[in-house]
Amino acid sequence: MKKFLFGVLIFALTGFVFAGGQGGGSSAGGVTISFMGWEASPLETEAVRNGIAAFEKVNPGIKVTYTPTSGDYFTKLLSSIASNSPPDVFFCGSEMYQTLIGRGVLLDITDRFNAQFPLDDFIDSSRTIMQVDGKVYGISSCSVSPIIYYNKDIFDKYNEPYPSADPNKVWTIDEFRAVAKRLTRDGIYGCYGLETNGAMIFAQVTSGGGAPFSADGYTTTYNSPQVKRVLQTIKAIRVEDKSMPAASTLENVGMNAAQMLQTGKVAMLLDGSWALQQLSTLGFPVGIAPIPSYGRPITTGQAHLHSIAKATRHPEEAWKFIQFLSGMEYQGQLSKEGLWLPNRKSLWADGPAGIDGWYDDARLGPYYRQMRPYLRDVVTCPQALVKAIVCMDIIAEEQDKYFKDDENIDVILANIQRRCDNELRAIR
């Protein structure tokens, strides 16, 4: 946290656009552009490198050097921008997008984008994220959403019916809670993941009618009865029902969440749709279903964007690259592997040019086909619309006080409102 805020401070103090980036260069063989992203998993990094190789094959005059970054990705990105050495192209987290737009460090690609892409073909959530005040500064990479994964063997062992993948038959939170309690036995936890990341919590808050921010994004609305109910329910599942382990439990047993599900330590895992890439390789029967509903049976959607630094010396080559990253050869392959979900309406449509062109039944099973309207018509995740990324840190920090340190929920909600409003007021 301190490292990230220090990076933001550096960026704030040097918040101007430099004349010439140093991310890429030229050589006798053509142009080299630099590309920076985060390393979420070895499988994802391998998939990105495979995509770069495919791009270079059809664009022999352009070489891409990729830097997968672990740890404080955004701090490192901001530091590279502040030191006049930004990557030409980079992953721009959806929660970072509007902050970087406000700082004027992203290349405006509106005209290039409109000449090549039909905006209306992007699903609503991706379109809402990309377009800010009528301008486009990055192309949405894909869509990812919080969902439920479950170990079929555990459900079978205890004669528990599987959750339905039908969007019209989504479990209520009370139904989910009851199943999790029944499956908490013999050293098994019923579920895990309700409180582990902001996107998952925001999806539950949105389902329950709450929202972190006002429509214009400059006021905090997190201190509400709707949000309070969701946070209290999440904590009750762990503390009162004892159906969900704390994150420290995973650290103590030396397993990640996917391995906990695989080995039968938990019956259900709530995680992002990207987790299927790993889960599908672990050799156990995994099912997929919508997250439980707090009133409105929905999930949220967002994903990082591929953006170009305004300071790049190679805007045309960088544009060719992010065009490729948005195409079927790249996005379609990563969707087939279970890492991503398509962000185009046309790719969700029937037929070989649509869902049949990327859907791998052996890996994805029948679930995404059954959940198609649920995953296509997602609500934009609130984290993708935040005006100041520091608000995400504030919310996470205060919620940890409630979930881990037993701070009074009314106190933490008041703290979130006060601290976030101060930050938003400063940039308005």
Residue 411 CB coordination number (10 Å): 12
In whole angstroms, what is the distance from residue 221 CA to residue 420 CA?
A: 10
Residue 265, C-beta contacts closer than 8 angstroms, at least 6 positions apart = 187, 188, 189, 253, 255
State residue 4's pLDDT score. 34
Question: Does pLDDT of 232 surpass 70?
Answer: yes
Specify the pLDDT at position 311: 94
Mean pLDDT of 88-92: 96
Query: Domains (ranges, CATH) in the chain?
Result: 2-143+302-374 (3.40.190.10), 146-298+388-427 (3.40.190.10)
Give the pLDDT of residue 243. 97
Could you give the angle at the alpha carbon of 384 between the alpha carbons of 381 and 387, nearest 5°?
Answer: 130
Mean pLDDT of 28-32: 77
pLDDT band at 19 (very low <50, low <70, confident <90, very high): very low
Percent of the chain with pLDDT over 70: 93
Q: Which helix (H) or strand (E) holds 72?
A: none
What is the token pair recorded at 40?
Answer: 């979420």
Which pLDDT tens digit goes with each residue over 4-13? 333 333 333 3
Q: Name the residue among 31, 38, 76, 43 with its Cα closest to residue 321.
A: 31
pLDDT confidence of residue 250: 74
Q: How confident is the model at residue 169 (pLDDT cuts 50, 70, 90)?
A: very high
Residue 26 has pLDDT above 60, yes or no: no
Mean confidence (pLDDT) of the chain: 90
Among 143, 139, 58, 144, smallest CA distance to 325 is for 139
The better pLDDT of the pair 249, 224 is held by 224
pLDDT value for 29: 58
Query: How confident is the model at residue 52, as a pLDDT?
Result: 95
Residue 25's pLDDT band (boundaries 50, 70, 90)? low
Is the pLDDT confidence value at 18 over 80? no
What would the pLDDT profile of 258-316 be if each residue is shown by its tens digit?
999 999 999 999 999 999 989 999 999 999 999 999 999 999 999 999 999 999 999 99
**Average pLDDT for residues 213-225, to the nearest whole number?**
93
- The whole-number average pLDDT for the span 393-403 is 95
Give the pLDDT confidence of 339-386 residue by residue, as tens digits.
999 999 999 999 999 999 999 998 898 999 999 999 999 999 999 998
Supply the pTM of this predicted model.
0.89
Look up tokens 């995973």; give the residue: 250
Give, in degrees to the nearest 5, the angle at Cα 114 between 112 and 116.
70
Per the DSSP assignment, residues forming a β-bridge with 302 are: 144
* Nearest-10 Cα torsion for 336, 341, 346, 347: 10
Instruction: Look at residue 251 and tell me whether its pLDDT is greater than 80.
Output: no
Instruction: Determine the pLDDT at residue 70.
Output: 82
pLDDT at 199 (0 to 100): 92
- HEC readout, 30-59: EEEEEEEEECCCHHHHHHHHHHHHHHHHHC
Q: Which of 93, 35, 91 is nearest to 62 (CA)?
A: 35
Contact, 55 vs 64, CB < 8 A? yes
The pLDDT of residue 11 is 32
* Integer Cα distance of 134 and 54 in angstroms: 32
Judge whether residue 23 has pLDDT over 80: no
Label residue 14 by pLDDT band (50, 70, 90). Answer: very low
For strand 379-380 and strand 305-308, is the pairing parallel, antiparallel, or unpaired?
Answer: unpaired
Q: Which tokens sit at 414? A: 């008041």
- pLDDT-based confidence at 328, cuts 50/70/90? confident
Q: What 3-state class would DSSP assign to 310? A: coil
* Over residues 193-222, mean pLDDT: 93
Q: State yes or no: pLDDT of 332 exceeds 60.
A: yes
Mark 253-266 as b/e (b = at least 16 C-beta within 10 Å).
Answer: eebebbbbbbeebb
% of the chain with per-residue pLDDT over 90: 77
